[in-house]
Amino acid sequence: PGVIFSGIQPTGEPHLGNYLGALRQWKRLQDTAHPKTKLFFCIVDMHAITTPRPPEEMQELRWKMMASLLAVGLDPDRCTIFFQSTVPQHAELQWILSCTASTGYLSRMTQWKSKLNLGENATLDNLGAKGLLKHGLFSYPVLQAADILLYRTTHVPVGEDQRQHLEFTRECVTNFNHTYKTKCLVSPQTLISPTRRVMSLTKPGDKMSKSDLSAKSRILITHSPKEIAARINGATTDSLNTVTYEPEARPGVANLISIMSGFDPQGRSPEQLGEEMQGYKIRELKEAVARVVSDQLAEVRERYAAFESDKDKLRKVSVQGTEKATLQAGETMAAVREAIGFSD
Ligand code: TYM
């Protein structure tokens, strides 16, 4: 028994990367974890406002993500499913952690650089001074660390791209516990999803991402079979017309095979599928990938449609989640406050 925590930003319905890299893993953990293991799945709406948008849109995106989490099979009676902004202790712990966290470490993190499309060589000095880098985007990892540490999390299931944030989280634990000579924060382990990073359909060198301006670069878990087929059909491959699995030399084709492997009912590896599909034309590969993705997502799609229109159900799940999360967060914060000297 331990504590599992993970989060997802409500910035649009989940895509195949979110599904294979995170959500499906969450569901598996829910179904296989020890009955005493606590599971927290958080819709991180406070992280999402690093990109501000109209309030009506934010509202809609939050409920869509809640419907998505239920659609993939998370059970609110087994897990705590909640919106980050409804538990104010996340922001409280963020401030506390930021008082022992190192800006040097934060300035080396790659995410804010990639969000600003600036490349690895961007530095704080030349951006911060010009006001281009918002403080919230810079301190984003501190809030993420607070999310995790607030629940005394032992395991965090995420995709490959979150590895650096988890290392930083452990750094926050060391800094805080050392400063206050306490053991009250618990260092979590990263559980990287077994599926490889899902890449963009249009630019196979980049990861599939909700923030990519081209909608054609991704497939959402709510897409119809027709939409799925159209996007796979339009996926960038290369000039060779037969199938081989060569991730370095043929990233577009390899990504399709890797997606197919992620959804393969027999669980075959990309290498194995590449071998078995030798001699297939690219068009045949695309048809096969579209078919298996559509079939495997059929149930999720139906459940999403039902949940999305059931606002009462979604509200109930949120209220129940907030209650359970607040209870646990309160316990951790009492210990943190005592360690600092804030208790009466
Ligand atoms: P987010 O919302 O970008 O993504 C949610 C989850 O999906 C995984 N993922 C991918 N996996 C494989 N291939 C891809 N192309 C791909 N794109 C996304 C991510 O690894 C992630 O597991 N910072 C986090 C949210 C967060 C969080 C947390 C996560 C906030 N607090 C605490 C864990 C614990 C993020 O932006 O995820």
115 included as an active-site residue: yes
pLDDT value at position 216? 96
Residue 122, pLDDT above cutoff 80: no
| Mean pLDDT (whole number) for 87-103 | 97
Ligand 1, pocket residues at CB < 6 Å: 5-9, 17-18, 21-22, 44, 47, 144, 147-148, 156, 158-159, 161-162, 165, 197-198, 207-208
> Choosing from 27, 38, 113, 207, which is the catalytic residue?
207
64 included as an active-site residue: no
Helix/strand/coil (H, E, C) string of the chain? CCEEEEEECCCCCCEHHHHHHHHHHHHHHHHHCCCCCEEEEEECHHHHCCCCCCHHHHHHHHHHHHHHHHHCCCCCCCCEEEEHHHCCHHHHHHHHHHCCCCHHHHHCCCHHHHHCCCCCCCCHHHHHCCCCCCHHHHCHHHHHHHHHHCCCCCEEEECHHHHHHHHHHHHHHHHHHHHCCCCCCCCCEEEECCCCCCECCCCCCCECCCCCCCHHHCCECCCCHHHHHHHHHCCCCCCCCECCCCCCCCHHHHHHHHHHHHHCCCCCCHHHHHHHCCCCEHHHHHHHHHHHHHHHHHHHHHHHHHHHCCHHHHHHHHHHHHHHHHHHHHHHHHHHHHHHCCCC
* Global ipTM: 0.99
pLDDT value at position 118? 63
pLDDT category of residue 107 using cuts at 50, 70 and 90:
confident
The mean predicted confidence, pLDDT, of the chain is 94
| Mean pLDDT (whole number) for 21-32 | 96
CA distance 251 to 234: 15
CA distance 219 to 215: 8
pLDDT value at position 164? 93
Both tokens assigned to 210: 């909700």
Q: Which of 26, 44, 221, 261 to mutate to test the pocket of ligand 1 (most atoms within 8 A of CB)?
A: 44
281 included as an active-site residue: no
pLDDT value at position 125? 65
pLDDT category of residue 284 using cuts at 50, 70 and 90:
very high
pLDDT value at position 140? 95
pLDDT value at position 134? 86
pLDDT, tens digit (0-9, with 9 covering 90-100), for 309-324: 999 999 999 999 999 9
How far is the centre of ligand 1, averaged over its atoms, from the C-alpha of 224 (Å)?
24
| Mean pLDDT (whole number) for 284-298 | 97
Residue 79, pLDDT above cutoff 70: yes
pLDDT category of residue 1 using cuts at 50, 70 and 90:
confident
Residue 163, pLDDT above cutoff 80: yes
pLDDT, tens digit (0-9, with 9 covering 90-100), for 191-233: 998 888 999 999 999 999 988 889 999 999 999 999 999 999 9
Q: Which of 85, 106, 109, 162 to mutate to test the pocket of ligand 1 (most atoms within 8 A of CB)?
A: 162
Q: What is the dihedral of CA 232, 272, 284, 17, to 10 degrees?
A: -10
Name the residue with the closest Cα to ligand 1, atom 28. Answer: 7
How far is the centre of ligand 1, averaged over its atoms, from the C-alpha of 125 (Å)?
28
How far is the centre of ligand 1, averaged over its atoms, from the C-alpha of 242 (Å)?
33
Angle at 168 between CA 167 and CA 174, to 5 degrees: 95
Judge if pTM exceeds 0.90: yes
pLDDT value at position 127? 65
